[in-house]
């Protein structure tokens, strides 16, 4: 995507060919800055602190973290340590585990002297694959929006509703949920997006609004609790969100608050679509509500709100009485029965095991072990 006429991905190899650079998402939308990450530990800190975030981008960053670890020391001990440190950064987005498993499996079979080059090549390839995959998700989802547009009265706008940020900032480029929206807008469909602010970290208000605005897609930020009202009043034609982990049976884990929007959409007969690339599917789990580990983050994200003051300074203010107990659940699970369809790089399918297997027949042989996902609630490391 372009920022002030310059094409950007969210993560790229620095000019020195050793470090990586990323867009600092903790400063958006008020400041656009990039950060250089030169060590595996710096990548782990960037994932944990959400300098980079969004399931596909977390996976790509994890791959680069493994590569930087191999540049530091290509030993078996470092391989194991890098895997453990990076995996512990954020527990819910399965793309991270997917990328780390991929890198570890490839590197473990190589002599140490060959690991650095192989890791850099694979991390770069994962990034390129993510761009192609997300672009394909856009192609898969576009006909759904075209069909909705055709059913509207002549001249009427298509209204989408999205939660959190599942755009290009959450991936390497294009996004998942926003990819079909960009494609629809670019193809001339008059589309407008209701953007949930997405407390506590406001990824909708800050990041999705930033992206859509830069691309020229009409949008309106709403308080998280407004969605049900808009859906009830016929002001939403379809909902579309991303996901951090989708289980074999089609349950969808995404940013906290997604489930409530799915309930409202279901109650009002509004389609609820979920867009995802293949590394977001956890084939080892078949009950998302029971088994997906739900990240709990720092209570400060709920008790305080960050933003720009009228003096132009980035600051944080308290919104609860001092000493109030606060809980910060990062994600929730929308059961498959509330999901109209999954939109993937291979096409669209029902949110069910049969649906997913129709697109990924190579997965037919794997038998899930129900409790492979570990504990239900997990705190982010650090
Ligand atoms: O906590 P975040 O900002 O990493 O959460 C991101 C989301 O929940 C996205 O909706 C999800 O990763 C899908 S991104 C394409």
Residue nearest ligand 1's atom 15 by CA: 166
What number does the ligand 1 atom closest to the CA of 177 have?
Answer: 15
Enumerate residues lining ligand 1, CB below 6 A.
Answer: 53-56, 93, 164, 166, 170-171, 175-176, 203, 242-244, 254-255, 330
Query: 196 CA to middle of ligand 1, Å?
Result: 13
The residues that are catalytic are 244
End-to-end CA distance of the chain: 32
State yes or no: pLDDT of 376 exceeds 50: no
State yes or no: pLDDT of 310 exceeds 80: yes
Whether the ω angle into residue 200 lies within 30 degrees of 0, i.e. cis, is: yes
Query: 229 CA to middle of ligand 1, Å?
Result: 24
Amino acid 5: pLDDT? 83
**What are the backbone angles phi and psi of residue 176, rounded to the nearest 5°?**
-105, -75
Amino acid 365: pLDDT? 79
pLDDT band at 382 (very low <50, low <70, confident <90, very high): very low
What number does the ligand 1 atom closest to the CA of 241 have?
Answer: 10
State yes or no: pLDDT of 373 exceeds 70: no
CA–CA dist 196, 207 (Å, integer): 11
Query: 171 CA to middle of ligand 1, Å?
Result: 9
State yes or no: pLDDT of 86 exceeds 50: yes
Residues near 18 by beta carbon (within 8 Å), at least 6 away in sequence: 38, 71
Average pLDDT over every residue of 338-360: 98
- Strands 34-37 and 158-162: what pairing? unpaired
What number does the ligand 1 atom closest to the CA of 243 have?
Answer: 13
Average pLDDT of the chain, as a whole number = 95
The tens digit of pLDDT for each residue in 144-185 reads 999 999 999 999 999 999 999 999 999 999 999 999 999 999
CA–CA dist 260, 315 (Å, integer): 30
pLDDT band at 372 (very low <50, low <70, confident <90, very high): very low
The tens digit of pLDDT for each residue in 56-77 reads 999 999 999 999 999 999 999 9
Query: 146 CA to middle of ligand 1, Å?
Result: 26
Domains contained in the chain, CATH given: 2-129 (1.20.120.420), 138-379 (3.40.50.10470)
State yes or no: pLDDT of 207 exceeds 80: yes
Global pTM value: 0.95
What number does the ligand 1 atom closest to the CA of 53 have?
Answer: 4
Amino acid 253: pLDDT? 98
Computed on alpha carbons and rounded to an integer, the radius of gyration of the chain in Å comes to: 20
Ligand 1: which of 53, 137, 378 to mutate, judged by most atoms within 8 Å of the beta carbon?
A: 53
The tens digit of pLDDT for each residue in 261-309 reads 999 999 999 999 999 999 999 999 999 999 999 999 999 999 999 999 9
Amino acid 378: pLDDT? 54
Query: 36 CA to middle of ligand 1, Å?
Result: 22
């Amino acid at each position: 995507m372009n920022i002030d006429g310059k094409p950007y991905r969210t993560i790229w190899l620095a000019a020195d060919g050793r470090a990586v650079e990323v867009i600092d998402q903790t400063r958006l939308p008020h400041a656009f800055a990039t950060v250089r990450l030169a060590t595996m530990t710096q990548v782990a800190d960037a994932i944990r602190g959400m300098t980079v975030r969004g399931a596909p981008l977390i996976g790509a960053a994890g791959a680069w973290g493994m590569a930087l670890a191999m540049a530091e020391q290509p030993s078996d001990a470092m391989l194991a340590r890098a895997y453990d440190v990076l995996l512990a950064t954020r527990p819910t987005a399965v793309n991270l585990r997917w990328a780390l498993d991929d890198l570890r499996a490839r590197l473990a079979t190589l002599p140490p002297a060959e690991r650095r080059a192989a890791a850099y090549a694979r991390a770069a390839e994962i990034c390129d694959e993510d761009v192609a995959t997300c672009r394909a998700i856009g192609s898969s989802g576009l006909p759904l929006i075209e069909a909705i547009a055709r059913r509207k009265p002549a001249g009427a706008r298509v209204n989408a509703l999205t939660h959190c940020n599942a755009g290009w900032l959450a991936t390497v480029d294009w996004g998942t949920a926003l990819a079909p929206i960009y494609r629809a807008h670019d193809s001339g469909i008059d589309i407008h997006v209701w953007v949930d602010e997405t407390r506590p970290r406001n990824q909708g208000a800050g990041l999705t609004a930033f992206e859509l605005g830069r691309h020229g897609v009409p949008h309106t930020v709403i308080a998280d609790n407004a969605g049900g009202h808009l859906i009830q009043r016929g002001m939403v034609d379809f909902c579309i969100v991303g996901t951090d982990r989708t289980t074999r049976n089609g349950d969808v884990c995404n940013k906290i608050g997604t489930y409530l929007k799915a309930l409202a959409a279901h109650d009002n007969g509004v389609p609820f679509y979920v867009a995802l690339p293949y590394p977001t599917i956890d084939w080892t789990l078949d009950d998302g509500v029971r088994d997906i580990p739900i990240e709990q983050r720092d209570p400060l994200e709920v008790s305080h709100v960050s933003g720009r003051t009228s003096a132009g300074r980035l600051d944080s203010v308290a919104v609860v009485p001092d000493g109030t107990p606060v809980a910060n659940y990062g994600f929730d699970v929308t059961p498959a029965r509330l999901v109209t369809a999954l939109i993937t790089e291979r096409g669209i399918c029902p949110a069910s095991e049969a649906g997913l297997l129709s697109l990924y027949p190579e997965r037919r042989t794997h038998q899930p072990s129900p409790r492979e996902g570990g504990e239900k609630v997990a705190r982010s490391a650090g």
